[in-house]
Amino acid sequence: MELFDILVSATFWAAVLRIASPLIFATMGELICERAGVLNLGIEGIMVAGAFAGWIAVYAGLPLWGGVAVAFGAGVAFGLLHGLLTVPLGLSQHVAGIGITMLATAATYFAYRVALPEVSSPPKITAFQPTGWAVLGSQTVLTWAALATVAVTGWVLWRTPLGLALRAAGENPAAVEAQGLPVHALRMGAVAVGSGLMAVGGSFLTLSAFNSFFFEMVNGRGWVCIALVVFGAWRPGRALLGALLFAGFDAFQIRLQQTSLGAGLPYQLFLAMPYLLSVLALVVMSRRTEVPAALMTPYNKGER
Amino acid sequence: MAEILRLDGITKRFGPVLANDDISFALNEGEVLALLGENGAGKTTLMNILFGHYMADAGTVTVAGTPLPPGQPGAALEAGVGMVHQHFTLAGNLSVLDNVMLGTRPLFSLRAGRRAARARLAELSGRFGLAVDPDARVADLSVGERQRVEILKALYRDARVLILDEPTAVLTPQEVEALFATIRKAVAQGLAVVFISHKLGEVMAVADRVVILRRGAKVAEMRSAETDRHRLAEAMVGAEITPPDVPPAVPGEVLFRLDRVSTAGTPGLRAASLALRAGTITGIAGVSGNGQRALADLLSGLEVPVEGRAELMGAGLGIWSPRRAVGAGIARIPEDRHATGAIADFDLTGNAMLEDYHRPPMSRRGWLDRRAARRRAEEIIARYDVRCPGPATPIRLLSGGNMQKLILGRVLEAGPRIILAAQPTRGLDIGAVTYVHRQLLAARARGAAVLLISEDLDELRALSDVIHAIHDGELSPAFARGEITVKELGLWMAGQGGRDAA
Enumerate the residues of chain B whose CB falls inside 8 A of the CB of residue A162: 107-108
The number of residues in chain A equals 304
Would you tell me how many other CB atoms lie within 10 Å of the CB of residue B58?
12
**Above 50 in pLDDT, residue A304?**
no
Q: How far apart are CA B22 and CA B43, in angstroms?
A: 13
Distant-in-sequence, close-in-space partners of A266: CB < 8 Å, separation ≥ 6: none
Task: Search chain A and give the residue with CA nearest B92.
Answer: A171
3-class SS letters over chain A: CHHHHHHHCHHHHHHHHHHHHHHHHHHHHHHHHHHCCCCCCCHHHHHHHHHHHHHHHHHCCCCHHHHHHHHHHHHHHHHHHHHHHHCCCCCCHHHHHHHHHHHHHHHHHHHHHHHCCCCCCCCCCCCCCCCCCCCCCCCCHHHHHHHHHHHHHHHHHHHCHHHHHHHHHHHCHHHHHHCCCCHHHHHHHHHHHHHHHHHHHHHHHHHHHCCCCCHHHCCCHHHHHHHHHHHCCCCHHHHHHHHHHHHHHHHHHHHHHCCHHHHCCCHHHHHHHHHHHHHHHHHHHCCCCCCCCCCCCCCCCCCC
CATH of domain B246-329+417-426+449-502: 3.40.50.300
The helix/strand/coil state of B45 is helix
The burial of B391, by beta-carbon neighbours within 10 Å (0-12 exposed, 13-18 middle, 19 or more buried), is given as buried
Selected residue with higher pLDDT from A279 and B472:
B472
Mean pLDDT of A91-117: 95
Residue span of the structural domain in which A284 resides = 2-116+138-288
Q: How far apart are CA B324 and CA B458, in angstroms?
A: 33
Number of domains in chain A: 1
Would you tell me how many other CB atoms lie within 10 Å of the CB of residue A259?
14
**Above 90 in pLDDT, residue B383?**
no
The burial of A130, by beta-carbon neighbours within 10 Å (0-12 exposed, 13-18 middle, 19 or more buried), is given as middle
Mean pLDDT of B264-274: 89
pLDDT in tens, A260-275: 777 777 878 877 877 7
Which of A166, A167, A171, A299 to mutate to test binding with chain B, by most B CBs within 10 Å of its CB? A171
Query: What ipTM was predicted for this assembly?
Result: 0.84
The per-residue pLDDT for A289 is: 66
Whether residue A126 lies inside any domain: the answer is: no
Selected residue with higher pLDDT from B81 and A256:
B81
Which of A158, A172, A290 to mutate to test binding with chain B, by most B CBs within 10 Å of its CB? A172
Task: Search chain B and give the residue with CA nearest A163.
Answer: B107
Judge contact between A91 and A66, C-beta under 8 A: no
Mean pLDDT of B303-320: 89
Check if A241 contacts B (Cβ < 8 Å). Answer: no
Choose among B200, B89, B479, A123: nearest CA to B493. Answer: B479
The per-residue pLDDT for A160 is: 93
Distant-in-sequence, close-in-space partners of A263: CB < 8 Å, separation ≥ 6: none
Which of B89, B150, B163, B338 to mutate to test binding with chain A, by most A CBs within 10 Å of its CB? B89
Selected residue with higher pLDDT from B431 and B280:
B280
Our measurement of the distance from residue B203's CA atom to the centroid of its chain's CA atoms, rounded to an integer in Å, reads 16
B3-237 and B246-329+417-426+449-502 in the same fold: yes
Q: How far apart are CA B384 and CA B411, in angstroms?
A: 12
Work out the mean pLDDT of chain B and round it to a whole number: 89
* Of A192-206, B300-314, B356-370, B410-424, minimum mean pLDDT range: B356-370
The helix/strand/coil state of B220 is strand
Task: Search chain B and give the residue with CA nearest A162.
Answer: B107
Our measurement of the distance from residue B375's CA atom to the centroid of its chain's CA atoms, rounded to an integer in Å, reads 34
Q: What is the CATH number of the domain that holds A106?
A: 1.10.3470
Q: Which residue ranges make up each domain of chain B?
A: 3-237, 246-329+417-426+449-502
Check if A183 contacts B (Cβ < 8 Å). Answer: no
Judge contact between B117 and B109, C-beta under 8 A: no
Mean pLDDT of A84-108: 96
Query: Who among A179, A292, A302 is closest to B54 (CB)?
Result: A302
Query: Who among A161, A172, A292 is closest to B89 (CB)?
Result: A172
CA distance A235 to chain B (A): 13
| A63 upstream amide cis, omega within 30 of 0 | no
The per-residue pLDDT for B502 is: 42
The per-residue pLDDT for B499 is: 64
Mean pLDDT of B359-379: 88
Enumerate the residues of chain A whose CB falls inside 8 A of the CB of residue B98: 164, 167-168
Enumerate the residues of chain A whose CB falls inside 8 A of the CB of residue B97: none
Mean pLDDT of A103-112: 95
One-letter amino acid identity for A212? S
Q: How far apart are CA B310 and CA B316, in angstroms?
A: 6
Architecture field, domain B3-237: 3-Layer(aba) Sandwich (3.40)
Work out the mean pLDDT of chain A and round it to a whole number: 90
Judge contact between B219 and B38, C-beta under 8 A: no
Judge contact between B102 and A179, C-beta under 8 A: yes
**Above 50 in pLDDT, residue A88?**
yes
The per-residue pLDDT for B102 is: 92
Query: Who among A163, A164, A174 is closest to B89 (CB)?
Result: A174
The per-residue pLDDT for B173 is: 83
pLDDT in tens, B191-226: 999 999 888 888 899 999 999 998 889 999 999 899
Whether residue A122 lies inside any domain: the answer is: no
pLDDT in tens, B48-64: 888 888 889 999 999 99
Whether residue A132 lies inside any domain: the answer is: no
pLDDT in tens, A126-142: 889 888 775 567 789 99
Confidence of residue A200 (pLDDT cuts 50, 70, 90): very high
Q: Which of A184-193, B9-18, B378-387 has the highest mean pLDDT?
A: A184-193
Contact A293 B91 (CB under 8 A): yes
Contact A171 B74 (CB under 8 A): no
Q: How far apart are CA A163 and CA B107, in angstroms?
A: 8
pTM assigned to the model:
0.78
Mean pLDDT of B94-106: 92
Q: How far apart are CA A264 and CA B74, in angstroms?
A: 68
The per-residue pLDDT for B119 is: 95
Whether residue A217 lies inside any domain: the answer is: yes
User: Is residue B139 within a helix (H) or strand (E), and if so which, with residue range?
Assistant: none
The helix/strand/coil state of B231 is helix
Both ends of chain A: CA-CA distance in Å?
62
**Above 90 in pLDDT, residue B444?**
yes
